[in-house]
Amino acid sequence: MKNCLSFLLSCLVYTSQAQVSSILPSPVTYVQSEGSFQINQALTVNPSEINSSLFTQLKELGTIYHQLRIEPNVQNAMLQFKKLENVKQDSYSINVAERITISYSSDASCYYAMTSLMQLMKRNENGLYTPKCFVKDFPNFQWRGLHLDVARHFFTVEEIKRFIDLMSYYKFNTFHWHLTDDQGWRIEIKKYPKLTEMGAWRDSTVDNHYTTVPRTYTKARYGGFYTQEQIKDVVAYAEAKYVTIVPEIEMPGHARAALAAYPEYSCTGKAQGVEGLWGIFDDIFCSKPASIQFLKDILDEVIPLFPGQYIHIGGDEAPKTRWHSCPKCQDIMKENHLKDEHELQSYFIRQMDAYVTAKGKKIIGWDEILEGGLSPNAAVMSWRGFDGGLEAAKQGHYVVMTPGSHCYFDHYQGKGKDEPLAIGGYTSLEKVFTFNPIPPDLGPEVSSYILGGQANIWTEYIPAFSKVEYMAYPRAIALSEALWCANKPTYDVFLSVLVQDHFPQLDQWKVNYSKSALKASVKTIRTNTGIELKSTEQSIENGKIKETSISFPFTRSKKKTKTETVTIHPEDESIRQTIQITNHLALGANVRFVTEPSPKYNGGDIVLVDGQFGARPWKGHEWIGFDTNVIVLEIDLGKVMKIHEIKVSFLQDENSWIHAPNQIVIESILPKRSDGIGMKEGPSIDGYAPNSEIWNLPYKGKTRTIRITISGEPEIPNGLPSEGNIPWIFIDEIQIN
Ligand SMILES: [Zn+2]
pLDDT in tens, 208-253: 998 887 899 999 999 999 999 999 999 999 999 999 999 999 999 9
154 CA to middle of ligand 1, Å? 30
pLDDT digits (tens, 9 = 90+) for 123-132: 999 999 999 9
As annotated, the residues of the chain forming the CATH 3.20.20.80 domain(s) are: 143-512
325 CA to middle of ligand 1, Å? 8
284 CA to middle of ligand 1, Å? 9
Q: Which percentage of the chain shows pLDDT scores above 90?
A: 74
pLDDT at 601 over 60: yes
The CATH number given to 2-137 is 3.30.379.10
Candidates 219, 151, 212, 215; CA nearest to 186 is 151
328 CA to middle of ligand 1, Å? 5
As annotated, the residues of the chain forming the CATH 2.60.120.1190 domain(s) are: 584-736
β-bridge partners, 70: 43
pLDDT of residue 332: 97
pTM above 0.85, yes or no: yes
Residues 523, 532: Cα–Cα separation, whole Å: 8
Band the pLDDT of 1: cuts 50, 70, 90.
Answer: very low
Mean pLDDT, range 560-577, rounded to an integer: 87
Mean pLDDT, range 447-458, rounded to an integer: 97
Catalytic residues: 181, 254, 317
Strands (E), 292-341: 310-314
269 CA to middle of ligand 1, Å? 9
pLDDT at 112 over 50: yes
Mean pLDDT, range 702-716, rounded to an integer: 90
pLDDT at 6 over 90: no
As annotated, the residues of the chain forming the CATH 3.30.379.10 domain(s) are: 2-137
DSSP secondary structure string, 347-382? HHHHHHHHHHHHTT-EEEEEGGGGTT---TT-EEEE
Helix then strand count (H, E) for the chain reads 19, 35
pLDDT at 560 over 80: no
Q: H-helix or E-strand containing 708?
A: strand 694-711
Check if the beta carbon of residue 478 is closer than 8 Å to that of residue 426: no
Mean pLDDT, range 485-501, rounded to an integer: 93
Mean pLDDT, range 404-413, rounded to an integer: 96
The CATH number given to 143-512 is 3.20.20.80
Mean pLDDT, range 135-139, rounded to an integer: 97
Residues 515, 410: Cα–Cα separation, whole Å: 16
268 CA to middle of ligand 1, Å? 7
Neighbours of 399 (CB within 10 A): 30
**For the chain, what is the mean pLDDT?**
91
321 CA to middle of ligand 1, Å? 10
Cis ω for the linkage preceding 474 (within 30 of 0): yes
334 CA to middle of ligand 1, Å? 13
Mean pLDDT, range 19-30, rounded to an integer: 95
DSSP secondary structure string, 426-452? B--HHHHHT--SS-TT--HHHHTTEEE
CATH class of 584-736: mainly beta
